[in-house]
Amino acid sequence: MGASKQVFIAIIGVGGVGKCFLSQLETLAARRQFPTLSLCYISNSKKAAYDSCYSAIPVAGALEKLSTASQVPPALPQLAAYLSAAPSDVILIDNTSSQDVADAYPVFLSHGISIVTPNKKGFSGPYKLWQDICAAASTSGAKIYHESSVGAGLPVISTLKDLVETGDRVTKIEGVFSGTMSFLFNSFAPISGAGGKWSAEVAKAQKLGYTEPDPRDDLNGLDVARKLTILARLAGLPVESPASFPVQSLIPKELEACASGSEFLQRLPEFDEQMDETKKAAEDLGRVVRFVGSIDMSSEQVKVGLEQYDASHPIAGLKGSDNIISIYTERYGSNPLIIQGAGAGGEVTAMGVTGDLIKVLAQIV
Amino acid sequence: MGASKQVFIAIIGVGGVGKCFLSQLETLAARRQFPTLSLCYISNSKKAAYDSCYSAIPVAGALEKLSTASQVPPALPQLAAYLSAAPSDVILIDNTSSQDVADAYPVFLSHGISIVTPNKKGFSGPYKLWQDICAAASTSGAKIYHESSVGAGLPVISTLKDLVETGDRVTKIEGVFSGTMSFLFNSFAPISGAGGKWSAEVAKAQKLGYTEPDPRDDLNGLDVARKLTILARLAGLPVESPASFPVQSLIPKELEACASGSEFLQRLPEFDEQMDETKKAAEDLGRVVRFVGSIDMSSEQVKVGLEQYDASHPIAGLKGSDNIISIYTERYGSNPLIIQGAGAGGEVTAMGVTGDLIKVLAQIV
């Protein structure tokens, strides 16, 4: 990659994670003397700030600069061409959750542009895209890191990769992969046995900002299915897509057609009895119900949905909106390697991105 | 570091971890086409296999080659000179627990030789050695990785470094850092309330190979104190040495002078009553007793010893000989980032070494 003393940073996306990342980048750029990090491009969905000389945009003033920018973002192939013509190495930070941007990863990578992103779409979409990404990176030597695509800043992907690369064999992965689902079930069915009505817990979580604006975007299980797809592929299972294994949706069939999230929330109490029965069935066995994802490597089965756990199980005792990921391998035997902690939130998600950026920098300069 | 296609590997130490590492290295060298890993030196405390042409020693036959070698290991400065004259980058794997080898890290590093090791001594000895190691690596650009010095293959050090480097602030670290202590207390004072006599559990653990041949080498708490010293320094506390903070030894004063481990084990039952009282004092409060280490960053206090935990606390519920490490930071707030799993054993310790080797390789070629 050459021993250049300057590395160009290009950022797409300045939402919640993007803003936290900018603040972390500012600290990083100030502390690290080498290499010089030079922000040459920043965009949201409507505008882009950049020029033909790759002039450095001060990180502290980047958002303001973007807000007053007059250019629309170039098409992605044009952006790849622009970045690949930069006079030094370029790292693209994709802080969006856009499928379009993810679809363009192979183009960026084949131009030698490294990518760091919390965006799940590139790694959990069609298997063909995953293969294209791997092939493009391998051919050009460009790096692609996406720690925050699973468990935010928790070291899940790096650990799984280390296990596989050092020759261990994953036998099973199991856990709570959604901060929203964690919060909902820790409140709805706590070990202590109390807990509120399901619809009330969902409404509360939405009010507190723990769910997407339309809670159905969490309750459909797709977010968890995407994360499982990524982990299964890294562990060696060629999962075709998040739609190719059973995913239990917690949206009652009758409410799928609701016109809005608020209509959905209004009608959800009709189904509280159903959820209470699910909870009680677990309680009758001394258990609690949790929304988990699991990958069984020997049977090649991936699934997402409700499961029951004894109160003493680490998954049952989770707190707040924490994630927990248990990785079972041949080396670790019957006691898995467990990683637990906040798996959502701007700062910890951005931390995974910044950590990846540091790792890429260590390799390209 | 230059874009060389060959990297030389030198190994000191072929004990339990060293043998597992050799087997992982064999797999790694076979799977990775680039760079070519060339084992040019291997030694135990008595012999060394190497030649003046840096001829490649087949990894699969390395132990046999060493057993028939006729050379004694060169003095460490001579070894550093030999390796630094190699025609390509060199990575030294220190699979010993030797203080002498650790003392020589600054010499190796200043010669541009990268180091990967599970040996705690270089990072937990005098603060001056730690500073010399950091300075030598920073000046020469050589890398030094030691994931397995805490928690074996568990991603503890890499995660702590990521947190600090991305600008998070550690507030507290707490955990069970010794597989031996974990096993002893999970058996002696399980949550269930049963558990055997202390001396019987120690004797059993020794018989099963969970302790050092002389169990006092575990019970003195020094191993945990060394790990705490490493983590505290990485988190930003300039701890002078493992002797500069309170460490509770579980060796009764009267037995410190025992001539052997077996004499110690024979007399240990005299102190069972004392340990039973400790256990009962915790039980009376609905708690269990555990041997933990903790670092409080705000009060700058590090300590190692017995603590009491509620049955619902993750530290209380640990199984087998697992380690658990809770890292509290400003970003993660009141719920810590937790890493849990086997923290000892040849295969998982070697995995940390192999994982570090892969990270160094990614940076020097």
Query: Are A174 and A301 members of one domain?
Result: yes
For residue B246, pLDDT beyond 70: yes
Residue A210's pLDDT is 87
The whole-number average pLDDT for the span A310-318 is 90
The whole-number average pLDDT for the span A9-20 is 97
How is A275-317 classified by DSSP, letter by letter?
HHHHHHHHHTTTEEEEEEEEEETTTTEEEEEEEEEETTSTTTT
For residue A2, pLDDT beyond 90: no
Pick the closest to residue A346 from A16, A12, A7, A90 (CA basis): A16
Query: Are B167 and B98 members of one domain?
Result: no
Phi (first) and psi of residue A203, to 5 degrees: -60, -40
- Mean pLDDT, chain B, rounded, equals 95
Query: Are A143 and A163 members of one domain?
Result: no
Query: Are A310 and A283 members of one domain?
Result: yes
Which of A101-105, A228-232, B212-216 comes out lowest in average pLDDT? Answer: B212-216
Residue B4's pLDDT is 46
In angstroms, rounded to a whole number, what is the distance separating the alpha carbons of residues A164 and B355?
A: 10
Which pLDDT band, with edges at 50, 70 and 90, does B312 fall under? confident
Query: Are A25 and A80 members of one domain?
Result: yes
The pair of structure tokens assigned to B238 is 């300039």
The whole-number average pLDDT for the span A247-254 is 97
Which pLDDT band, with edges at 50, 70 and 90, does B33 fall under? low
Question: What's the pLDDT tens digit per position in B161-177?
Answer: 999 999 999 999 999 99
Q: Which residues from chain B sit within 8 angstroms of residue A322, using beta carbons?
A: 335
The number of folded domains in chain B is: 2
Judged by DSSP in three states, B164 sits in helix
Question: What's the pLDDT tens digit per position in A177-198?
Answer: 999 999 999 999 999 888 999 9
User: Is residue B1 in some structural domain?
Assistant: no
Query: Are B136 and B166 members of one domain?
Result: no
Which of A34-38, A333-337, B51-55 comes out lowest in average pLDDT? Answer: A34-38
B317 → closest Cβ in A312, A339, A347? A312
Q: Which residues from chain A sit within 8 angstroms of residue B360, using beta carbons?
A: none
Q: Do B331 and A312 touch (CB under 8 A)?
A: no
Q: Do A158 and B153 touch (CB under 8 A)?
A: no
Distances (CA, A) of B61 to B19, B22, B29, B57, B126: 12, 10, 14, 7, 38
Question: What's the pLDDT tens digit per position in B101-117?
Answer: 999 999 999 999 999 99
On whether the CB atoms of residues B194 and B211 are closer than 8 A, the answer is no
Query: Are B354 and B320 members of one domain?
Result: no
Question: What's the pLDDT tens digit per position in B275-307?
Answer: 999 999 999 999 999 999 999 999 999 999 999
Pick the closest to residue B135 from B100, B156, B159, B107 (CA basis): B107
Nearest Cα of chain A lies from the Cα of B361 at a distance, in angstroms, of 9
Query: Are A249 and A219 members of one domain?
Result: yes
User: Is residue A171 in some structural domain?
Assistant: yes
The whole-number average pLDDT for the span A84-107 is 97
Residue A4's pLDDT is 46
A340 touches chain B (CB under 8 A): yes
In angstroms, rounded to a whole number, what is the distance separating the alpha carbons of residues A57 and A29?
A: 12
Residues of A comprising the binding site for NADPH? Answer: 96, 120
User: Is residue A41 in some structural domain?
Assistant: yes
Residue A365's pLDDT is 77
The whole-number average pLDDT for the span B17-30 is 94
Query: Are B326 and B207 members of one domain?
Result: yes
Which pLDDT band, with edges at 50, 70 and 90, does A35 fall under? confident
Is residue A227 part of the annotated active site? The answer reads yes
CB pairs under 8 A between A and B: 117
pTM of the model: 0.96
Q: What percent of chain B has pLDDT over 70?
A: 99
For residue A94, pLDDT beyond 50: yes
Q: Which domain holds residue A66?
A: 6-152+347-362
Query: Are A141 and A198 members of one domain?
Result: no
Residue A335's pLDDT is 94
Q: For residue A62, give the CATH number of its domain.
A: 3.40.50.720
Which pLDDT band, with edges at 50, 70 and 90, does A33 fall under? low
| Residue with more model confidence, B313 or B158 | B158
User: Is residue A311 in some structural domain?
Assistant: yes
Q: Do A166 and B335 touch (CB under 8 A)?
A: no
On whether the CB atoms of residues B104 and B76 are closer than 8 A, the answer is yes
Task: Give strand pairing partners of A302.
Answer: A295
Q: Do B338 and A341 touch (CB under 8 A)?
A: yes
Q: For residue A162, give the CATH number of its domain.
A: 3.30.360.10
Which of A2-6, A337-341, B113-117, B208-212 comes out lowest in average pLDDT? Answer: A2-6
ipTM of the shown complex: 0.95
